[in-house]
C-alpha cells in the first residue's frame, strides 16, 4: 500500500475526490496525511472526518520561503510519501522543494495548458472568446504551471457563461481525471524522464493525453 500526501489551502473538493477514490479507483494507496498552510482550511475537516492525519503549517512563523519549505518537507517526509498531490495549495514552492519531490508531485491547473498559466483562468478564457476550456494534470517542476502535462479534460464555454459557470464544469472534470492520473503514478505506469511525461513507455506530447 503506497502513501499519498495531499497539500491543501482551502475547501478541498479535489481532496474529497481522492478520499473517495482511495481503496476504489486508487486501490493500492492510502492518504497518509493532509497538510495545509491555513489552519482554517475546510480541507482539514474533510480529512478529519475521514480519519486521516492532518497538519497545518503557517508560513508567518518562518522568515523565508526556503525555511518554510524545509519545514514542510520535514513534515511530509514523516509520512514516507510515494505521491504528493497539490490540491489547491496556494503557495509558490521553492526550487529546492520541487526538485526534492520531482517526479512524484502532481498538480492540477484549471486551463488547457500551456494556455492560461497563473490565476483567473476561467475569466481569461471567456474574455478571449474561447469556445472551450478545461483542466490539466501535470508534474510539478520549478516553472510555475510549466511541468509536463499528463492528462487534460475539455469543457465547452457557452455564450452567456460567467466564470462561475465554467469553473463548475471544470471542477467536475478535475474530480475525475486527477485521481486517475495519481493512480497511474501509484501503479508505476507513469514517470517523468528528462522533463517529459512517460505513460506505459510512451512519451506524451505537449498537451498530454485528452479524456474522451
Active centre residues (catalytic) = 109
Comparing CA positions, the residue from 115, 111, 103 lying closest to residue 148 is 103
Q: Is 30 annotated as a binding residue?
A: no
Whole-angstrom distance, CA of residue 209 vs CA of residue 131: 20
105 marked ligand binding residue: no
Q: Cell triple for residue 88?
A: 489547491
The DSSP element (H or E) to which 157 belongs, if any, is none
Answer yes or no: is 14 a known binding residue: yes
93 carries a ligand binding annotation: yes
The angle, 0 to 180 degrees and rounded to 10, between the axes of the packed helices 13-21 and 163-186 is: 40
Q: Is 120 left (phi over 0), alpha (psi -120 to 50) or beta?
A: left
Write the CA distances from 97 to 49, 76, 142, integer angstroms. Answer: 29, 11, 9
Question: Known binder of ligand: residue 12?
Answer: yes
Give the distance between the most distant pair of CA atoms in the chain: 49
Whether 107 has a binding-site annotation, put simply, is yes
How many whole angstroms separate alpha carbon 35 and alpha carbon 158? 37
109 DSSP 8-state letter: E
Does residue 91 have a known ligand-binding role? yes
**Annotated binding residues for (6R)-10-formyltetrahydrofolate:** 65, 90-93, 107
**Annotated binding residues:** 12-14, 65, 90-93, 107
Amino acid at each position: 500500500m503506497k502513501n499519498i500526501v495531499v497539500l491543501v489551502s482551502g475547501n478541498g473538493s479535489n481532496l474529497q475526490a481522492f478520499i473517495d477514490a482511495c481503496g476504489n479507483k486508487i486501490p493500492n494507496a492510502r492518504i497518509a496525511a493532509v497538510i495545509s498552510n491555513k489552519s482554517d482550511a475546510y480541507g482539514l475537516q474533510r480529512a478529519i472526518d475521514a480519519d486521516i492525519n492532518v497538519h497545518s503549517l503557517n508560513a508567518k512563523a518562518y522568515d523565508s520561503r526556503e525555511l518554510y519549505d524545509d519545514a514542510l518537507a520535514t513534515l511530509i517526509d514523516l509520512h514516507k510519501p510515494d505521491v504528493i498531490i497539490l490540491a489547491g495549495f496556494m503557495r509558490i514552492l521553492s526550487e529546492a522543494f520541487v526538485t526534492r519531490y520531482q517526479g512524484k508531485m502532481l498538480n492540477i491547473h484549471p486551463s488547457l495548458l500551456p494556455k492560461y498559466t497563473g490565476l483567473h483562468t476561467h475569466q481569461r478564457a471567456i474574455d478571449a472568446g474561447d469556445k472551450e476550456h478545461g483542466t490539466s494534470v501535470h508534474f510539478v517542476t520549478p516553472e510555475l504551471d510549466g511541468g509536463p502535462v499528463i492528462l487534460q479534460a475539455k469543457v465547452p464555454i457557452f455564450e452567456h457563461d460567467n466564470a462561475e459557470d465554467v469553473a463548475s464544469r471544470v471542477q467536475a472534470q478535475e474530480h475525475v481525471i486527477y485521481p486517475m492520473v495519481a493512480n497511474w503514478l501509484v501503479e508505476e505506469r507513469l514517470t517523468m524522464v528528462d522533463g517529459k511525461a512517460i505513460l506505459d513507455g510512451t512519451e506524451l506530447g505537449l498537451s498530454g493525453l485528452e479524456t474522451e
